[in-house]
Amino acid sequence: METAAKPTYIKRKKNGRISLKAGNKSELVIRLTMILLVTLTIIGFLLFDYTGLKLKEAIMETAYNLKVMFFEPALNHFTWAEAIYQVGVSLGLAVLSTVIGAVIAFFLSLIAATNLSKEWITNTVRIMVAFIRAVPTVLWVLIFAIAAGLGSEAAVLGMLFHSVAYLVKAFSEAIEEIDQGVLEALKSTGSNWWHVVTHGVLPSTFTYLLSWTFLRFEINFGVAVAMGAAAGAGGIGFELFMASGFYFDLSEVGFITYAILVIAIILEVLSTQLKNRYFPTNVRS
């Protein structure tokens, strides 16, 4: 099996000789950046104020807290029924923001794809969603919490805003991967723009759209948990905040952590089954 040769760049010296160097400038920049980050990390640890730190006691207390959290999970301040309800609230927030966001993003992605829309429209939409995507989801949730008030509305609006920008980029790139011959064949038969979308774009990109939408749903569930207390949206995230910051009940923190982990595993299994059903292995390969 042949291995790909590393790229080389040529530099001519003043004496007329030519020197060949392995790699390229981008690799050099990456290496220098990594060296700089490692150096700054080491300097940061050296500049920490370690006054009063008792390393042995700190390690022992941390180990004890982890033991209580993960080996003694328990519900002390709410019941199983309330726990299931709170998980359902977090899932509901993620479903709302993902489904509505996916529908809006699909229509925006049609005018953001270069093979379906004019260049100036595509550039306008892409600049707008790039700006929205540059702001983290958590910050959008907090912005809407200030504008609309604390509650589930702020969480849904914040996640929806970022979900649309995220999915527009993913959907438009999937649409641009369509074989141009398929679109030209439909246009040559007299199909209008909507016929091209429904008979050419959707059948060719459905599996990719489904995969990206489910990925965004998993992200939104994590954000819904994180924003349960910050945005006043409730859900299992609020209970986690109360158990960790108000009650300081490590056993309850452990139980909630396990509950979130179980939901994450279930979502991953569902995602895999959907991909295997609508996007079989023999088609992917």
pLDDT of 14 reads 55
Report the alpha-carbon distance of residue 262 to residue 268 in Å, rounded.
Answer: 10
For residue 46, CA distances in Å to 24, 39, 40, 43, 49 come to 34, 11, 10, 5, 9
Cβ atoms of 269 and 261 within 8 Å: the answer is: no
pLDDT of 279 reads 60
Question: What are the residues facing 18 on neighbouring strands?
Answer: 12
Q: Which residues make Cβ contacts (< 8 Å) with residue 40, sequence separation at least 6?
A: none
pLDDT of 23 reads 56
pLDDT of 15 reads 55
What does DSSP assign to residue 73? -
The overall longest dimension of the chain from CA atoms, in Å, is 82
Average pLDDT over residues 195-200: 82
CATH 1.10.3720.10 is held by the domain 82-284: yes
Mean pLDDT across the chain: 81
pLDDT of 80 reads 85
Phi/psi zone of residue 16: left (φ > 0), alpha (ψ -120 to 50 degrees), beta? left
> Phi, psi (5° rounding) for residue 248?
50, 50
Smallest CA-to-CA distance from 183 within 124, 108, 114, 112 is with: 114
Q: Does residue 186 or residue 126 have the better pLDDT?
A: 126
What does DSSP assign to residue 24? -
- For the chain, domain boundaries: 82-284
| Three-class SS state of 279 | coil
Q: Does residue 271 or residue 96 have the better pLDDT?
A: 96
pLDDT of 164 reads 92
pLDDT of 218 reads 87
User: Quick one: tokens of 65?
Assistant: 């807290």
Report the alpha-carbon distance of residue 117 to residue 187 in Å, rounded.
Answer: 14
Cβ atoms of 120 and 181 within 8 Å: the answer is: no
Q: Does residue 166 or residue 188 have the better pLDDT?
A: 166
pLDDT of 54 reads 79
Cβ atoms of 144 and 158 within 8 Å: the answer is: yes
pLDDT of 282 reads 41
- Select, from the ranges 4-13, 45-54, 94-103, 227-236, the one with the highest average predicted confidence (pLDDT): 94-103
